[in-house]
Chains A and B, each alone.
Chain A
């Protein structure tokens, strides 16, 4: 299946700490995307990394992609209480993406 699988399923950290989430998938992909979902804002796109890229940054977010291992990681640095949400990786080909089950992140103030 192309579907990504996030790890861990749940993560609880103190405010200010870094949070790392991983995503593994099984088939070749064109791109991999990370989304965040909380009750207040719904699903929001965070970052897209293409299969020929290895690392991307956006603000406090850092995403890596290792196509040889079929895995990606999302690092959130200096976490804030507002980062509390579910994070999903979505593996994409040219026309659609398939979402994994997500990682639930709790940032404790």
Chain B
């Protein structure tokens, strides 16, 4: 399967712990996006990369969140000192870069539960 993959699919952690999620995009895609989604809402933009460069980070994103894409391939999203409000589905998507905009391909998500 050459789609977007995310690991782990589920993560349960205690408040205050750090967690790290991984996203492997479609190999030829140079853009990678992270979103967060809570029940009944649409995906909320967190950050995105073009190749290894992080081009934008949501102003709503706490400094406890950090993302990397070191070699322009896979990406990791780390949440430090997790809080119960961080419980959500974390989605990764990838796309090509194009002036008119292109479709994004989403992974299955990582569901985080903070207890």
Contact = CB atoms under 8 A, between A and B. Distances in A.
B45 A96 contact: yes
Task: Report the contact-size class of chain A (Cβ under 8 Å from the partner).
Answer: 20 to 34
A86 B48 CA distance: 24
A88 B50 CA distance: 24
Contacts of A81: none
A43 B106 contact: yes
A36 to B, nearest CB: 11
A44 B93 CA distance: 10
B36 to A, nearest CB: 11
Interface stretch (B17-25, B65-73, B77-85, B96-104): B96-104
Interface residues of B, number: 27
Contacts of A31: 100-101
Given A42-B108, A43-B91, A43-B106, A101 B40 contact: yes
Given A97-B101, A97-B104, A42 B42 contact: no
A73 interface: no
A33 B56 contact: no
A11 to B, nearest CB: 15
Interface in A21-46: 30-31, 33, 42-45
Interface of A: 30-31, 33, 42-45, 48, 50, 88, 90, 92-102
Q: Shortest 5 CB-CB distances between A and B: which pairs? A: A99-B42, A31-B101, A45-B103, A43-B106, A92-B101
11 contacts: A33-B101, A33-B104, A88-B43, A92-B101, A95-B97, A96-B48, A99-B35, A101-B40, A101-B41, A102-B41, A102-B42
